[in-house]
């Protein structure tokens, strides 16, 4: 079947919760994807920051195939070596203590909320009168719990009532966060770099100030690094830029590089809060998913991925800055490493669609921001190719 036939066939049986682009992707190689008709696309979306190494990567594929030949899944009633190794690699990378593996970032957020509430419940002798502070313009997922701490009414309005006792503050406004703290506040949750909200990194003053407030008042700091973690910003985790550590970390996306896996990680203060029976996941941490995570951590080291992110990320930032100078309808660029945003004064939907038609996969963050989250293995030559394609599209907008 061709692109159109497959799209029509899919729409007959799939709930229409995505306005998908008219492309049917078939396979990938390196940082390129190909549709069923053979058209080639340079990928600067990476499955929304998932496919850190691109596609058809032998080392990664071989690790998965070897695990498939052994076993794909067993119950969490038993131990497996891939799970144990992946847990150690993750805690060593993030500097925290204990891991719970999930199937997705949304589930990691759910677990982080439960962990924070259980810690407060235990500390306060069974009291459930606790509040969580979250940030405006944040995005943490689409389940009811994750939506409850997502600071975007558009995502929430059709699904209320959500979980209660969530208070929203302004991101990068320490005074506003401080003003929302009460004796009921048990946790503050935020993205170290806001993704869907427009690629806004935390300021150093803000995140260190929030950390200080949490330390002073026995409040847990939950950092959501589902998109900005796993090397995306040039550090393994974005909070490494700020000399802080969270009490609870959420991670997913590039943790499995395409195999569904996420995790919430507990620091020393909360590592014993959850006990047997408090939380579970049928597939969470199964042998195939954790074999993928093990391969990812090994490849980060063997391929010196962070070095490449820093070098090519700086170059990408320079090229995007030159677009800001060239076009009046581009307001600014911001971000870290290979997580960059280009903010426009006009809607970007048509620009994204035309770029895809030209063979460049890019995505938006909101109505007027293009988000650049390519595979972490891209080269400067790939950035140049992206620039040429996008520049051509932008020149037609004027």
Tokens 């389940």 -> residue = 143
- Using alpha carbons only, give the angle 302, 361, 154 rounded to the nearest 5 degrees: 105
CB 197 within 8 A of CB 368: no
In this prediction, residue 348 carries a pLDDT of 97
Helices (H), the chain: 3-11, 46-49, 58-70, 81-94, 105-123, 144-148, 153-156, 174-180, 204-217, 287-302, 305-326, 349-357, 380-397
Q: What are the backbone angles phi and psi of residue 258, rounded to the nearest 5°? A: 125, -30
Q: What torsion, rounded to 10 degrees, do the Cα atoms 373, 374, 379, 383 define?
A: -70
* Positions of E strands within 192-271: 193-194, 200-201, 220-224, 248-251, 262-266
Tokens, residue 124: 């306060």
Pairing of strands 220-224, 185-191: parallel
Identify the DSSP state of 10.
H
In this prediction, residue 65 carries a pLDDT of 98
Q: State pTM to two decimals.
A: 0.97
Per-residue pLDDT of the chain (398 residues; tens, 9 = 90+): 899 999 999 999 999 999 999 999 999 999 999 999 999 999 999 999 999 999 999 999 999 999 999 999 999 999 999 999 999 999 999 999 999 999 999 999 999 999 999 999 999 999 999 999 999 999 999 999 999 999 999 999 999 999 999 999 999 999 999 999 999 999 999 999 999 999 999 999 999 999 999 999 999 999 999 999 999 999 999 999 999 999 999 999 999 999 999 999 999 999 999 999 999 999 999 999 999 999 999 999 999 999 999 999 999 999 999 999 999 999 999 999 999 999 999 999 999 999 999 999 999 998 999 999 999 999 999 999 999 999 999 999 86
CB atoms within 10 A of CB 18: 7
Tokens, residue 186: 């048990």
In this prediction, residue 252 carries a pLDDT of 98
- Among candidates 178, 182, 158, which has minimal Cα distance to 170? 178
In this prediction, residue 398 carries a pLDDT of 67
Identify the DSSP state of 202.
P
- Among candidates 188, 191, 137, 198, which has minimal Cα distance to 166? 188
End-to-end CA distance of the chain, in Å? 37
In this prediction, residue 307 carries a pLDDT of 98
CB atoms within 10 A of CB 241: 18
Cis peptide before 161 (omega within 30 of 0): yes
CB atoms within 10 A of CB 376: 29
């Amino acid at each position: 079947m061709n692109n159109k036939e497959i799209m029509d066939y899919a729409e007959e049986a799939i709930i229409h919760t995505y306005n998908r682009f008219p492309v049917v992707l078939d396979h990938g190689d390196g940082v390129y994807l190909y549709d069923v008709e053979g058209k080639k696309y340079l990928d600067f979306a990476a499955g929304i920051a998932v496919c850190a190494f691109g596609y058809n990567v032998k080392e990664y594929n071989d690790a998965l195939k070897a695990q498939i030949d052994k076993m794909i899944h067993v119950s969490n009633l038993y131990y497996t070596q891939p799970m144990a190794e992946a847990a150690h690699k993750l805690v060593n990378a993030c500097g925290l203590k204990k891991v719970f593996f999930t199937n997705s970032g949304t589930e990691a957020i759910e677990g982080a909320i439960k962990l924070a509430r259980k810690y407060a419940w235990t500390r306060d002798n069974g009291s459930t009168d606790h509040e969580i502070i979250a940030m405006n313009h944040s995005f943490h997922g689409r389940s009811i719990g994750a939506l409850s701490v997502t600071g975007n009414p558009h995502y929430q309005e059709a699904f209320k009532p959500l979980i209660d006792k969530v208070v929203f503050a302004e991101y990068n406004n320490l005074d506003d966060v401080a003003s929302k703290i009460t004796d009921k506040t048990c946790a503050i949750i935020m993205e170290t770099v806001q993704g869907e909200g427009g690629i806004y990194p935390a300021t150093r003053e803000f995140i260190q100030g929030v950390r200080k407030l949490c330390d002073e008042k026995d409040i847990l700091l939950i950092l959501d690094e589902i998109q900005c973690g796993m090397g995306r910003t040039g550090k393994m985790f974005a909070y490494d830029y700020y000399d802080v550590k969270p009490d609870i970390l959420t991670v997913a996306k590039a943790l499995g590089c395409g195999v569904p896996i996420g995790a919430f990680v507990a620091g020393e203060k909360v590592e014993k809060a959850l006990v047997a029976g408090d939380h579970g996941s049928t597939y969470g941490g199964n042998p195939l998913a954790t074999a993928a995570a093990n391969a990812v951590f090994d490849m980060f080291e063997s391929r010196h991925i962070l070095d490449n992110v820093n070098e090519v990320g700086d170059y990408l930032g320079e090229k995007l800055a030159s677009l800001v100078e060239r076009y009046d309808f581009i307001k600014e660029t911001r971000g870290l490493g290979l997580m960059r945003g280009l903010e426009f004064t006009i809607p970007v939907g048509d620009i994204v669609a035309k770029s895809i038609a030209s063979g460049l996969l890019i995505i938006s963050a909101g109505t007027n921001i293009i988000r650049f989250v390519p595979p972490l293995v891209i080269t400067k030559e790939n950035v140049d190719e992206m620039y040429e394609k996008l520049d051509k599209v932008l020149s037609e907008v004027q």
